[in-house]
Structure formats: C-alpha cells, structure tokens
C-alpha cells in the first residue's frame, strides 16, 4: 500500500427533502451573501430553484442567481461569475445542479478569493492556489462526484483545452443530496452518470498497485452496486432505492476512497476530455466511447487485473486469466451498450475521423509532448493514438 492522506471535509446531508436545510447550512459555513450558480434551466423547470430562493429569503440571506453553466462548463462563463461574485461581495458560492454548475462555482470561488489572478492560471499550475471561498452544493444529478471531489474541470474555449484542477480547496463545504431531485433527469443523463460513476472507480482500480485488499474490495462492491442499480434506474428513474444508491455511489466513487493506497490512472478520462472539448459531447458518453479501446490497448499491462474485475464484479468463471480478462472487457462494453451509451466514435455521433485528426487529438492529449497519461500503462502519443484508432 502506498502512503496517503485522506481529507474529505464536506458535510453531507442525504435524503428526501434535505434541500430544506440549505439556508441553515449556508449560515453554518459563514455565508450571508450568496451567489447561486445554476445550469441551463432544469432547476427552474423542476421548481427547485424557487424553493431554494424562498428559503434564502426567509433566512434573510442576500443572494443573486448566476445562470447558464453549460455541460463541459466554459472558462469565460466562470470568469464572468467571478465578476458577479466580486460585484455583490459574495462570501459563499452555492451551486444548484450537476458537475457543470458545481465546477463553475468552484472556479468562481477561487477567482473571487484571488481577484488579482486569472483563474486559468490555477488550472495550468502557473499560480499557486492558497485560498478560496466556501462552496455549497445542492446536487441534482448523480455523475461527476464534484459534490465531494477535490477536482474541478473547465474548458478553455480559446485554446480548446478541457482541464481538471485537483486541489483540496475544491472540496465543497457542504453537499445536499436528495435522490428525489434526480428523478427529473432525461434517461440519457442517468446513463451518462452511471458510466461516469463506474469510471471514477475503474480509473483508480486499474493502477500499478495490486495489494490494497480493502480498497479493491470497496471498489468492487461499488461497481456491483452501480451496475445493478444502473439497470433499475434505466427501467424506472422514480425508483428511490436505485436513485439513492447511485447518488451515494457517485460521491464515494470520486472522493478518493476507492483508490486509497494506489496510484490512480485516469487515462480514459484524459482520452474522453479531448472528445468533449473537440465535439462538445457529454462527459459520460465520451468515457463509454473510449473505455473499450483503452482496455484493449492496456490489456497486456495486467491481464490478471482485468480478470479479477471479471470474476469479482461480473461473476465470470473463466480460470485462464487472459480469457477472463477479455470476457471482462466484453462484459463492461456490453453493459454500456445495454444502457444505450456509445462505445465508438460513430455511435457517439461524431463520425469516423481521419488519421490526421486522430494524430492531432493524440498531440492535444499529451499537451504537445509535455506529458504522458495513465499509470496502469503509461501512455504516450503512440499508445494514445492506438486507442483512438481502436475507438474510431
Ligand atoms: O444545465 P441544466 O439545465 O441544469 O441541465 C443539465 C444538463 O443538461 C441536466 N440536469 C442536471 N440535473 C438535472 C438535469 N435535467 C433534469 N433534471 C435534473 N435533476 O443534465 C445535463 C448534464 O448536467 P451536468 O451538470 O453537465 O452533468 P454532470 O454532473 O455529469 O457534470 C459533467 C461535468 O463535470 C465534469 C465533466 O467533465 C463535465 O464537464 N466532471 C467533473 C468532475 C469533478 N469536478 O470532480 C469529475 C468528472 O470526472 C468530470 O470530469
Ligand atoms: Zn468523470
């Protein structure tokens, strides 16, 4: 087991009607002037935003609503949010929505606490992030895990880069998680979420450290839970049991627990981010598109690991490791198909790409030669290109 620090300070209020305590939580974390960050309108349509606003008014909190965080949230929009937060002298940023609203809120919190620094400099490592502002979350989709994660992902539309920032200051102060709020989701978004939740654990499970008994056991239990309840949620998104299991798995999958003591890989996420920034596709769909190709490309780095996934998660009985490994990859990709998720470029709806585009994509993933990705198998330009060719 490798050494680790586990720091997950977010207070979680989980269950039916938990959002009624939003104003109380804001006060608890010192908020009195709140910038409320939302996405493209789902929280208005569901009536959630009106309920939150009513609660803020009754509690005597000053607030403004900042709308318009898009899926694959844009840097320019977060910068605009920083200006709004500074103008209203916000002291707490409240995201009401999914990963896109939450990551925008995180960016705004960093920017408003550091008005002399352009926030992209934090994402690029050009400026150290040493202080921020509290972020609260009312979650409406089980997927990105941003409600407790140490990460925030923004897309810089000027250079087409979609980049994550990993930092403890990204952990929200509190997260309100009412599974009933996810029952208005379109089926496609439920499926995207299931894939993303699985991938946050798979991207940790596949790593070069294989003697983490508890961590691996937790990862396998989480994957079995998501697979089973993903099926139930796909059949009926008003199934409270399924939606609550998915919501809790979404947080646990990305708060670090399922990878403790290991060396996380996250290569599929990096391959997917390039698809999202280039074609503006949903994050979960980008991941199901590349995972099978990533697995084929990396299989020889550890057939026994794939075989263990097959036996412990998919219940496979093959004794030969390579046969079990191949069957595990098939089972995972088949499950994505069963959910209606894309498993190659044409199913993603972006068409077959020519070789020059694939090369350009591989170059972008390596930041033009400045980095490799992954740890299970370290991938440079050639391995990345091989994976994209397989997914094409
Ligand atoms: O924008 P609105 O109108 O709210 O609609 C959203 C959006 O269209 C809709 N939606 C959300 N809750 C709903 C709902 N529709 C009806 N009823 C509800 N209850 O669903 C769509 C997707 O929303 P979004 O916030 O984009 O989803 P998600 O939570 O999947 O977030 C995706 C973003 O998070 C990033 C992704 O890359 C992507 O940019 N990630 C963030 C991570 C993190 N911060 O730790 C880790 C992840 O790996 C991921 O990269
Ligand atoms: Zn993800």
* Cβ(250) – ligand 1 distance below 6 Å: no
The span from the CA of 358 to the CA of 140, in Å, is: 35
How far, in Å, is the centroid of ligand 1 from the Cα of 311? 32
Please, which contacts does 115-122 make with residues 24 or more away whose CB atoms are closer than 8 Å? Answer: 115/82, 115/86, 118/79, 119/75, 119/78, 119/79, 119/82, 119/154, 120/75, 120/154, 120/156, 122/165, 122/167
Task: Looking at the CA of residue 46, tell me the nearest atom of ligand 1.
Answer: 17
**Which ipTM did the prediction report?**
0.99
Whole-number pLDDT of residue 263? 96
* Cβ(172) – ligand 1 distance below 6 Å: no
Residue 311: other Cβ atoms inside 10 A? 18
Give the number of C-alpha atoms closer than 13 A to the C-alpha of residue 365, restricted to the C-beta side: 31
pLDDT lower than 70: segments of the chain: none
How far, in Å, is the centroid of ligand 1 from the Cα of 300? 34
Query: Ligand 1: which of 45, 71, 122 to mutate, most ligand atoms within 8 Å of CB?
Result: 71
* Cβ(237) – ligand 1 distance below 6 Å: no
Q: Which ligand is nearest to the CA of 72?
A: 1
How far, in Å, is the centroid of ligand 2 from the Cα of 240? 23
- Nearest partner of 199 among 288, 115, 311, 74, judged by Cα: 288
* Cβ(135) – ligand 1 distance below 6 Å: no
The span from the CA of 182 to the CA of 25, in Å, is: 21
Whole-number pLDDT of residue 175? 99
* Cβ(195) – ligand 1 distance below 6 Å: no
Q: Is the whole-model pTM more than 0.95? A: yes
* Cβ(191) – ligand 1 distance below 6 Å: no
Whole-number pLDDT of residue 105? 99
How far, in Å, is the centroid of ligand 2 from the Cα of 81? 23
* Cβ(42) – ligand 1 distance below 6 Å: yes
Q: In the block, which residue shows the tokens 């940023």? A: 93
Dihedral pair phi/psi, residue 11, rounded to 5°: -80, 135
Residue 369: other Cβ atoms inside 10 A? 9
Query: Ligand 1: which of 41, 75, 100 to mutate, most ligand atoms within 8 Å of CB?
Result: 100
Which residues have C-beta under 5 Å from ligand 2, the single-atom ion?
196
The span from the CA of 11 to the CA of 216, in Å, is: 25
3-state secondary structure the chain: CCCCCCCCCCEEEECCCHHHHHHHHHHHCCCCEEEEEECCCHHHHCCHHHHHHHHHHHCCCEEEEECCCCCCCEHHHHHHHHHHHHHCCCCEEEEEECHHHHHHHHHHHHHHHCCCCCCHHHHCCCCCCCCCCCEEEEECCCCCCCCCCCEEEEEECCCCEEEEEECHHHCCCEEEECHHHHHHCCHHHHHHHHHHHHHHHHHHHCCCCCCCHHHHHHHHHHHHHHHHHHHHHHHCCCCHHHHHHHHHHHHHHHCCHHHCCCCCCCHHHHHHHHHHHHHCCCHHHHHHHHHHHHHHHHHHHCHHHHHHHHHHCCCCCCCCHHHHHHHHHHHHHHHHHHCCCCCCHHHHCCCCCCHHHHHHHHHHHCCCCCCCECCCCCECHHHHHHHHHHHC
Whole-number pLDDT of residue 342? 98
The span from the CA of 164 to the CA of 143, in Å, is: 16
Tokens of 328: 């595990």
Which residue's CA is the closest to the ligand 1 atom numbered 23?
Answer: 98
How far, in Å, is the centroid of ligand 1 from the Cα of 71? 6
* Cβ(307) – ligand 1 distance below 6 Å: no
* Cβ(75) – ligand 1 distance below 6 Å: no
């Amino acid at each position: 087991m490798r050494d680790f620090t586990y720091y997950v300070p977010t207070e979680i209020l989980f269950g039916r009607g938990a959002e009624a305590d939003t104003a109380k939580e804001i006060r608890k974390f010192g908020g009195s002037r709140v910038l409320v960050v939302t996405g493209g309108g789902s929280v208005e349509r569901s009536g959630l935003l009106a309920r939150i606003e009513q609660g803020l008014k009754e509690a005597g909190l000053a607030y403004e609503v900042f709308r318009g965080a898009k899926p694959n949230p844009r840097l320019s929009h977060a910068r605009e949010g920083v200006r709004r937060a500074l103008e209203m002298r916000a002291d707490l940023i409240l995201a009401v929505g999914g990963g896109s609203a939450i990551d925008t809120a995180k960016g705004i919190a960093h920017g408003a606490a550091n008005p002399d620094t352009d926030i992209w400099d934090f994402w690029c490592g050009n400026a150290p992030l040493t202080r921020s502002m509290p972020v609260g979350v009312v979650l409406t989709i089980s997927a990105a895990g941003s409600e407790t994660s140490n990460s925030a992902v923004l897309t810089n539309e000027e250079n087409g880069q979609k980049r994550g920032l990993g930092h403890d200051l990204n952990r929200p102060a509190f997260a309100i998680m009412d599974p009933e709020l996810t029952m208005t989701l379109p089926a496609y978004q439920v499926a995207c979420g299931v894939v993303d939740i699985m991938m946050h654990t798979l991207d940790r499970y596949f790593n070069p450290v294989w003697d983490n008994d508890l961590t691996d056991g937790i990862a396998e239990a989480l994957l079995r839970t998501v697979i089973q309840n993903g099926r139930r949620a796909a059949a009926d998104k008003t199934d409270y049991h399924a939606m609550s299991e998915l919501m809790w798995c979404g947080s646990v999958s990305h708060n670090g627990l399922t990878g403790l003591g290991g060396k996380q890989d996250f290569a599929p996420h990096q391959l997917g981010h390039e698809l999202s920034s280039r074609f503006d596709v949903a994050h979960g769909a980008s991941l199901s598109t590349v995972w099978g190709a990533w697995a084929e490309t990396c299989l020889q780095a550890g057939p026994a690991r794939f075989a263990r996934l097959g036996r412990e998660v998919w219940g496979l009985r093959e004794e030969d490791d390579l046969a079990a490994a191949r069957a595990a990859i098939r089972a995972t990709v088949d499950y994505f198909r069963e959910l209606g998720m894309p498993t190659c470029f044409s199913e993603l709806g972006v068409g077959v790409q020519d070789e020059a585009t694939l090369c350009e994509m591989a170059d972008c993933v390596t930041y033009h030669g400045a980095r490799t990705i992954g740890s299970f198998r370290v991938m440079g330009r050639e391995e990345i290109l091989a994976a994209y060719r397989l997914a094409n």
